[in-house]
């Protein structure tokens, strides 16, 4: 599993660790408690964890008219050291007054990097994983600024969306990607873009990321490649081993990381963190899965691994390793698999097995 250190925040002075828990919608309510249980099992490897239950999501919106309550934001800003977010049910059709709370939180807390490791668990722990990559997704711009408008033109309705790419955002996500690549054995970074068509927006992203290497001599050790996003998807399925760290604008990164999850069996095992310079929030990559909510069969692995990523970012590498090693053992040796992986295990069974290994 992903064991490269990220930007560690100061940890020495902490006697406790206040963690905001936002299950949000659907199976988020089942997998976030599993992540909490895994954290509690770590004992003295981390400061005493204190958990704060918070609300957000489409279900919150239907009850209150607000998807992201101000109280949730205030508590995260003022009381929490980090957070875990479950999953959100965003409707495919426009709902007046609603917007995704996770997109809003990324902007409000300036969590500009979405870091998504995708790693297969080899049957033999001594053998390298067939898939071992990190997708580093810019988290605040691109089409996710959600500036859309619809007008009526000569040929009927016309819809337009603004795509924002800035030098600042592209540079700082580039630095994050270079730091991650530098810390990995292969030291390889692939810049994903479509600047052959979007020469202005993707061109700026590409140029800004590549300029990072010229600004800091330590990054000279990183080998840099480029890939057009469409061919990157093709090669992802044909030659996943060529990728180490990939850095992409928001939309491309979202698509690539979800596609990469197919290489390791399920979205249910792929974790992520939303990271900024002052806060980090773990988030499993999967959605709210309303079709299985309440059946007790949701895969808790992604949320538990997201907790490990969050702790690693905070500087608790040993604790994170304990979680990751426990998950690997349950998947490899116990073969305790939920239905998304072809098994019959329940959420609680998998969680208990992982906690026992921890």
Looking at the fold, whether 233 and 358 belong to one and the same domain comes out as: no
- The string of DSSP codes covering 77-115 is HHT-SEEEEEE----SS--TT---HHHHHHHHTT--EEE
Looking at the fold, whether 131 and 263 belong to one and the same domain comes out as: yes
Looking at the fold, whether 107 and 19 belong to one and the same domain comes out as: yes
pLDDT over 90 at 2, yes or no? no
Looking at the fold, whether 117 and 67 belong to one and the same domain comes out as: no
CA atoms within 13 A on the CB side of 37: 19
CB 175 within 8 A of CB 182: no
pLDDT over 80 at 198, yes or no? yes
Query: Residue 127's pLDDT is what?
Result: 73
The two tokens of residue 149 are: 């408008």
Band the pLDDT of 299: cuts 50, 70, 90.
Answer: very high
pLDDT in tens, 152-168: 988 999 999 999 999 99
Residue after which a domain boundary falls, among 245, 271, 297: 271
pLDDT in tens, 141-155: 999 888 889 999 889
pLDDT over 70 at 7, yes or no? no
- The β-bridge relationship of strands 132-138 and 113-119 is antiparallel
CA atoms within 13 A on the CB side of 127: 9
**Distance between CA atoms of 149 and 131, rounded to whole angstroms?**
40
Residue after which a domain boundary falls, among 232, 253, 271: 271
Catalytic residue IDs: 144, 194, 230, 254, 258
The two tokens of residue 96 are: 């007046």
CATH of the domain at 294: 3.40.718.10
Picking from 99-103, 127-131, 226-230, which range would have the lowest pLDDT averaged per residue?
A: 127-131
Query: Residue 17's pLDDT is what?
Result: 96
Band the pLDDT of 14: cuts 50, 70, 90.
Answer: confident
Picking from 144-153, 272-281, 290-299, which range would have the lowest pLDDT averaged per residue?
A: 144-153
Looking at the fold, whether 117 and 211 belong to one and the same domain comes out as: yes
What's the distance, Cα to Cα, between the start and end of the chain in Å? 15
Band the pLDDT of 3: cuts 50, 70, 90.
Answer: very low
Average pLDDT of the segment spanning 283-289:
92
Query: Residue 27's pLDDT is what?
Result: 96
Average pLDDT of the segment spanning 20-35:
97
Query: Residue 13's pLDDT is what?
Result: 60
* Helix, strand, coil abundance in the chain, percent, nearest 5: 45, 20, 35
**Distance between CA atoms of 201 and 324, rounded to whole angstroms?**
38
Higher pLDDT, 265 or 10: 265
The model's pTM is 0.90
Higher pLDDT, 246 or 44: 246
Residue after which a domain boundary falls, among 219, 250, 271: 271
Looking at the fold, whether 198 and 294 belong to one and the same domain comes out as: no
Looking at the fold, whether 144 and 238 belong to one and the same domain comes out as: yes
Q: Can you tell me which residue has the tokens 């080899």?
A: 122
Looking at the fold, whether 267 and 136 belong to one and the same domain comes out as: yes
Of the candidates 141, 118, 121, 138, which has an alpha carbon nearest to the alpha carbon of residue 129?
A: 121
Looking at the fold, whether 137 and 262 belong to one and the same domain comes out as: yes
Average pLDDT of the segment spanning 317-330:
96
| Structural domains counted in the chain | 2
pLDDT in tens, 231-264: 999 999 999 999 999 999 999 999 999 999 999 9
CB 129 within 8 A of CB 98: no
Average pLDDT of the segment spanning 291-308:
96
Looking at the fold, whether 252 and 293 belong to one and the same domain comes out as: no
Band the pLDDT of 1: cuts 50, 70, 90.
Answer: very low
Which structural domain range is residue 247 located in?
113-271
Q: What is the largest CA-CA distance in the chain?
A: 68
Looking at the fold, whether 262 and 182 belong to one and the same domain comes out as: yes
pLDDT in tens, 347-358: 999 999 999 999
Of the candidates 202, 192, 198, which has an alpha carbon nearest to the alpha carbon of residue 255?
A: 192
Query: Residue 266's pLDDT is what?
Result: 86
Query: Residue 11's pLDDT is what?
Result: 54
Looking at the fold, whether 89 and 121 belong to one and the same domain comes out as: no
Query: How much is the mean pLDDT over the chain?
Result: 92
């Amino acid at each position: 599993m992903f064991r490269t250190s990220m930007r560690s925040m100061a940890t020495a002075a902490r006697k406790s660790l206040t963690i905001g828990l936002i299950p949000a919608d659907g199976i988020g309510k089942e997998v976030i408690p599993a992540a909490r249980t895994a954290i509690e099992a770590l004992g003295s490897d981390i400061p005493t964890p204190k958990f704060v239950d918070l609300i957000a999501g489409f279900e919150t919106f239907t009850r209150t008219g607000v998807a992201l309550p101000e109280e949730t934001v205030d508590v995260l800003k003022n009381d929490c050291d980090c957070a875990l977010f479950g999953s959100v049910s965003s409707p495919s059709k426009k709902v007046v007054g609603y917007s995704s709370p996770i997109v809003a939180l990324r902007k409000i807390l300036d969590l500009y990097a979405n870091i998504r490791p995708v790693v297969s668990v080899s049957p033999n722990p001594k053998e390298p994983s067939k898939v071992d990559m990190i997708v580093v997704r810019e988290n605040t711009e691109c089409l996710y600024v959600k500036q859309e408008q619809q007008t009526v033109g000569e040929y009927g309705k016309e819809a337009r969306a603004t795509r924002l790419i800035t030098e600042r955002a592209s540079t700082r996500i580039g630095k994050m990607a270079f730091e991650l690549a530098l810390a990995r054995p292969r030291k390889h970074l692939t810049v994903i873009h479509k600047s052959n068509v979007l020469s202005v927006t993707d061109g700026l992203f590409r140029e800004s990321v590549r300029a990072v290497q010229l600004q800091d001599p330590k990054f000279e050790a990183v080998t840099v490649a480029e890939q057009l996003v469409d061919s990157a998807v093709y090669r992802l399925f044909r030659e996943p081993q060529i990728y180490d760290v990939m850095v992409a604008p928001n939309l491309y990164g979202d698509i690539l990381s979800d596609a990469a999850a197919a290489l390791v069996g399920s979205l249910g095992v792929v974790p992520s963190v939303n990271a900024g310079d002052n806060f980090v929030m773990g988030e499993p990559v999967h959605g709210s899965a309303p079709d299985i909510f309440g059946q007790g069969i949701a895969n808790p692995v992604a949320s538990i691994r997201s907790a490990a990523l969050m702790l690693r970012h905070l500087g608790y590498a040993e604790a994170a390793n304990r979680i990751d090693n426990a998950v690997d053992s349950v998947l490899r040796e116990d073969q305790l698999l939920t239905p998304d992986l072809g098994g019959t295990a329940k959420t609680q069974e998998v969680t208990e097995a992982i906690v026992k290994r921890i």
